[in-house]
Each structure stands twice: as structure tokens, then as C-alpha cells.
Structure 1
Amino acid sequence: MKTFKYLLLILSFLLVSCDNEEIIYEGESYLHFPTSAADYLINQGSTQRDIEIEYGTLSKVSGDHEVKLVLDPTSTAKEGVDFQYIKGTDNPNGKFNSKFVVRLLESGASSVAKIAVFRLQSSTLKSSIINYPTFTVTMSLKCPANLMNGNFKNTVAFWNTPAGFNFDIVQTSATNELRIKDYLDVGRDFILKYNPDTYVVTIPDVYTGANYSAAPYAGTEIWVKQSTDATQVSTFNPCTKTLTIYSNYYLKGTTAGYGNQKEVFIGN
């Protein structure tokens, strides 16, 4: 028994020693980006937006090495039109990481996103082929949310079919809230919450005002909530005055319902 305990003690010591031992990489530096992509909105009227693009190396760089941020030809964004390099060249001497600065230009931005794929270039440092050799910037114009006030046509419809009916959309006194007036029923608005930075829309659970009429669920309330499919993201674009909603209409207290539905509104 004593021998068994002694062996366990040795094994425990070895495991702790392995856990606490640092793994030291002493190979080549290898340039890379810590993440692969990011989305940026340029506020209408702002003229420009400066963003920082971080990069790193697998080991600390020793000596002078020039590293450039270069645009991949697969990009849809153009230098001088959509963006400018503010700091496009760097020397990471003595560092594990550093950053570039790029200026996004409102004059070239539109509501349709443009893509800038950046690579790292150096004559003395190699680039990594994994994690991550490129960094993709998606840039688009961000118009103010108050442009969503107005009259909209329901071009893709479910609750109010056929498509083509017009509805007023208003911003209420509640923070970051839109209402589609009289959409669910006369006097019953469709309430939408939104993120002011991304314009992603969320749908609170709400009673539509209607009840199901057929057996076995006759009289059951019909409610609406956010789509249950995480890939279906509701958003609006004030620049194009377009609202796209993915919602789920269901019978309260049951597993029955109409499933996830897409509804689109375009400003008149």
C-alpha cells in the first residue's frame, strides 16, 4: 500500500511538472494575422474612418525587417478610391506583434459592401500559410437609422399576402425600436428591436392578435418570434431603405406553427 502511494506521488509530480513547463518556440518568425476578417461601416457624413489592422509573428523579431501591407488582386476595393494606407509599412524589430493603419473613405463607399483582402509582404521574413495568411476587410456605407421612417412596400410577404401592400415604418420613443404600423392587425404593430451599430434586427415574442381556426388547435393564439434558424439574420439598410425580416409564426403552447418565414420591405 505504501509503495502504491509512493508511485502515485511520483506520477502526480511528473504531471504537475509537465503542466508548468513552458513551450518555447525558437524557429522562424513567420508573419501572420491573428484573425481572418472583420466588417467595418463608414458613417454617412463622416468623410473617413481609420482602422487598425494587427499582425504578428510566431517568434520575436530580431533586427530590422520591413513588412508591408499589400492588397490582394482578388479584392473589389481599390486603393485611392475606397481606402488609403496611413501606415502601410512597419518594422517589427523586437516585437511579437504590431499594426498597420488604413483609412476607409466615405467617397468610395456604398451600401453594397466592398472587399479588401490584405496580405503581408517582406523580403526577409516568411509568411505563414496557416492562421492566417490574409485579412479580409468588408467595408460599406452606414446611413442613419432615421432614414427608415417612411412608407414601405411589403415585397416579400407571409403574414399579409399577397405581397404588395404598403405599410408605414416609424421609430418610436423607445431606444432602438422600429414599428411596422398596423402590420399584424389594425391597431397592432409589428415591433422590432435593432442594434444601432450593425442594424441587426431582433424580434420580441408577441401575440399577432389572431387565433388559429381549425381543429385540433382551434382558438389557439398565433404568436410571432425571431427565426429559429441562426443563419437567418434580420437586418435593415437605411441607404437602400430595405428591411429584411426572418420570423417564426407559431401556435402558443403547442409545437405547431408556420415555421420560419422571410418578409421584405422596400421604401417607396
Structure 2
Amino acid sequence: MKKIAFLILASFIFLLSSCKDEAEVYEGQPYLHFNKGVNGEAVVKQGTGSTIANIDFGTVQSLSGAAQVKLVVDKTVSTAVEGVDFQIVAPEVTVNAGQIGGQFQVKLLEATATVEAKVIVFKLQSSSIPNATFDQTYILRYTKSCDFNMAPFTGTYKVVTDTWEDYEAGDLVTVQPGLAANQFKILSTNNPYISNASTSYMLVTVANDGSVQLVSNEPFNYGGTTGTLSLSGSGTVNFCTGAINISNLNFSGAAGSSTGNQFVLVKN
């Protein structure tokens, strides 16, 4: 009796499983969508000329016949311009019968790439495959990156921010090569508040990741009740543009200390 009950139960479970599997079979329209994520990130490295970003798309089920699918740019929200910043290698591709999708390639051009992200928003179009109600927008963000290079860090720079207030925005500062291959000097020759402007400078040491540490070669002499102050600090530099961002500039001496000052410079 127990054996018969077990067989009945097993048959019932099998029938439930079969009904479940049958219910999961989809026989409707294929429907077009971005099938491997709707966001992408890419980097164009300096000296490469361009890089290729792949964008995948798919259909809910395989096609019964060949169809054309087009990748189009939403110009209303994209910040990059087709033909200037990027090119779609083949804007229209064929999905053959039995296939469930394909891939587009987008060529990102170094000449107009920037360290600030540019954005391209894509959509899918087809005259024979209806669009799904999901995953219809693909957002590609890309930036330019440069390898460790000390060459940009020399010449005349313009002050953007100085919360210590030795300089005003727009003042010019001279930058020269430093004592070692990965160092540069920010000279004090245009600093109106110190008496040793001709001999003092900030010595900036650059790491491979663009982070920097700085010290003063000698205390800056502000005279009066302030006296001399030694400098230290940290921040970042941009290997592509040569921009200098000292985000944590500290002064200390007998008169006291001041920490967390900002000193931001860009190439003039």
C-alpha cells in the first residue's frame, strides 16, 4: 500500500513539473532589447588613436527569418557627437534566422576624448522586430586617460583656486622641473606676501597613479607676527592636461597652523 501511495505521489510531482516547464515556453514576438546590461564604461588611452566599445543586443527568442537591426543615437541627451567624437562601425546589422541577437561596435576617437566623461545614449530600431518594453536605452560613458608623464608639468600656470589667499584667481605661477625625474617645483616668484619669494618653492613629488605629495624647500617668510611657515600637502595631477590640484595644503610655524587649504592650477 505504501508503495502504491509513493508511485501516485511521484506521478503527481512529475505532472506538476511538466506543467511548469510547459508554462515557461515562450511563443510570442521576439522583441528587441539590450540584453547584456544598459550601461557601459570605456577608456581611450593617450596615443592609441581610438578604442572600440562593444554593445550587445538580443531578442526574447530566436528569429524565424533574417531581420535588420539599427543602432541609433539619442542626440537630445548625448554629450558626444557622432562623426566628431565617435563612429558606429556598422550602424545596421543582420540577425539571421535562428539567432537571438548580435553586437554593435562603436569607435571612440582619442582626438576629442576628454578626462571628463562624455556620454552617448543609444537606442535600437528595426522595421520587422518590435521593441520590448524594457532595456531600450544603453548609456555609454567614456573618458581619456594618459600614462605617467612629467612633460606637461612645466611652464606658466594660471591660479584657479587659492583658499590660503596668497594669489587671486587668474594670477600666473611658474612651474619648473624638480630635483628628481618625478618632481616639479611651483615657484614663489609671483607671491606678493613673502620676503623670500626668489628662493622658496613648493616641491611636488608625483606617483604613478597621479597622486602627489608636496613640501616647501624652505619655510615661507611672511614677516610680522606670522613669521615663517613650512608647507606640506597632498593632491592629484592630471597626466593628460597637466592640471594641478593640491586639495590639502597645510601651513605650520611658530604663529600656528592652517590645514586643508586648496591650491588649484591649470596650464595657461
User: What secondary structure is seen at the aligned counterpart in 2 of 1:126?
Assistant: coil
Return closer, same or farther for 1:135/1:191 CA change in 2, 3 Å cut-off. same
Q: Which position in structure 2 is the counterpart of 1:193?
A: 207
**Does the aligned pair in 2 maintain the 1:120–1:134 contact within 8 Å?**
no
Q: 1:117 aligns with which of 118, 121, 142?
A: 121
Equivalent AA in structure 2 for residue 189 of structure 1: L
Identity level (%): 18
Structure 1: gaps spanning 5 or more residues: 1-23, 196-200, 214-218, 227-233
**Does the aligned pair in 2 maintain the 1:69–1:88 contact within 8 Å?**
yes
Q: Which position in structure 2 is the counterpart of 1:80?
A: 83
| TM-superposed deviation, 1:51 | 0.8
Q: Which position in structure 2 is the counterpart of 1:66?
A: 68
Q: Which position in structure 2 is the counterpart of 1:266?
A: 267
**Could you say what the CA RMSD is over the residues aligned between the two structures, in angstroms?**
4.6
Distance 1:144 1:207 in 2: 21
User: What secondary structure is seen at the aligned counterpart in 1 of 2:207?
Assistant: strand
Return closer, same or farther for 1:61/1:139 CA change in 2, 3 Å cut-off. farther
Equivalent runs, 1:237-252 vs 2, <5 Å: 238=240, 241-250=241-250
CA deviation map 1:210-244 (0-9, x unaligned):
59x9xxxxx99764234xxxxxxx45364xx5514
**Does the aligned pair in 1 maintain the 2:250–2:261 contact within 8 Å?**
no
**Does the aligned pair in 1 maintain the 2:202–2:231 contact within 8 Å?**
no
- Kindly name which structure, 1 or 2, has the bigger radius of gyration based on alpha carbons: 2
| TM-superposed deviation, 1:29 | 5.2
User: What secondary structure is seen at the aligned counterpart in 1 of 2:89?
Assistant: strand
**Does the aligned pair in 1 maintain the 2:159–2:173 contact within 8 Å?**
no
Distance 1:90 1:171 in 2: 54
Distance 2:230 2:144 in 1: 41
CA deviation map 1:55-111 (0-9, x unaligned):
24474534434322111122344433433332333345556664212233456x265
Distance 1:258 1:221 in 2: 12
Equivalent AA in structure 1 for residue 41 of structure 2: A
Distance 2:140 2:187 in 1: 42
**Does the aligned pair in 1 maintain the 2:55–2:103 contact within 8 Å?**
yes
Is 1:38 matched up with 2:41? yes
Equivalent AA in structure 2 for residue 186 of structure 1: S
Q: Give the TM-score normalised by the residue count of structure 2.
A: 0.57
Equivalent AA in structure 1 for residue 174 of structure 2: F
| TM-superposed deviation, 1:265 | 3.0
Equivalent AA in structure 2 for residue 70 of structure 1: V
| TM-superposed deviation, 1:50 | 3.9
Q: Which position in structure 2 is the counterpart of 1:100?
A: 104
| TM-superposed deviation, 1:115 | 4.1
Q: Which position in structure 1 is the counterpart of 2:233?
A: 224
Q: Which position in structure 2 is the counterpart of 1:230?
A: none
Equivalent AA in structure 1 for residue 75 of structure 2: P
Aligned length: 215
Distance 1:165 1:243 in 2: 14
Distance 1:171 1:56 in 2: 52
Structure 2: gaps spanning 5 or more residues: 1-22, 189-196, 223-227
Equivalent AA in structure 1 for residue 247 of structure 2: S
**Does the aligned pair in 2 maintain the 1:224–1:249 contact within 8 Å?**
yes
